[in-house]
Structure 1
Amino acid sequence: MRMLIQASIDTEISNKLIAEGGMAAAMDEVMALLKPEAAYFYPLHGRRGFTLVVDVTDEPSLVAVVEPLWLRMGADVEVVPCMNADDLRAGIARIPGAG
């Protein structure tokens, strides 16, 4: 299932990671683990933030997806199911009388 993950990284933790030269490695770990189909980075609520679109095979997999963000970056994390245009069309086609 495609999920949109929005994370806001703890400023103190990210400042320390940057000062120690570990921020790139931390992000590389997250990207290698989650293999996002899309990734965007930006300021979020006054902190460093990002949005990833990832494939999650089942609900228990969410634990492995979000734990590194909490443990490594102290991030506030929101996870929302999402779909692309093809998924939306397929869903609409399932509505009786919609097609």
Structure 2
Amino acid sequence: MRVLLKASFDTERSSEMLRSGKLHQMMEALKERTHPEATYFTVDQGRRTMYLFFDMTDSADMPSIAEPLFMEMGASIDYTPVMNFDDLQKGLAKLS
């Protein structure tokens, strides 16, 4: 299932990760773990925020993806199932 992972990072902890060079390593490890379709970075409500779109094949992967972000970055995390246009078309076709 295609999933949106929204992670908002604690400013002090993420700043320390940035200064130490660990932020790049953590993002690379997350990329390797999830093989994202797309990743975006922005500021949301004054916090560094990442939007990561990827295919989650097993919900048991949720802890291994989220825990490093919780522990190292003090992140607030939301997982949301999402569809692209092709998925929407398939879903709408099932209504008929």
Q: Same fold (TM over 0.5)?
A: yes
Partner in structure 2 of residue 73 of structure 1: 73
Distance 1:45 1:34 in 2: 25
Higher gyration radius (CA): 1
Partner in structure 2 of residue 29 of structure 1: 29
Distance 1:65 1:20 in 2: 21
Verify: 1:61 aligned to 2:61, yes or no: yes
SS in 1 for 2:87: helix
Partner in structure 2 of residue 88 of structure 1: 88
Over aligned residues, Cα RMSD in angstroms?
1.2
Structure with the higher fraction of residues in helix conformation: 2
Contact 1:38 1:54 in 2 (8 A): yes
Partner in structure 1 of residue 19 of structure 2: 19
1:47-77 Cα deviation digits (max 9, x unpaired)? 1111000111122222222222212221100
Normalising to structure 1: TM-score of the pair? 0.88
Moved >3 Å (runs of 4+): none
Residue 24 of structure 1: how far off its partner (Å): 1.1
Query: Size of the alignment, in residue pairs?
Result: 96
Distance 1:40 1:32 in 2: 16
Q: What are structure 2's unaligned runs of at least 5 residues?
A: none
Q: What are structure 1's unaligned runs of at least 5 residues?
A: none
Partner in structure 2 of residue 5 of structure 1: 5
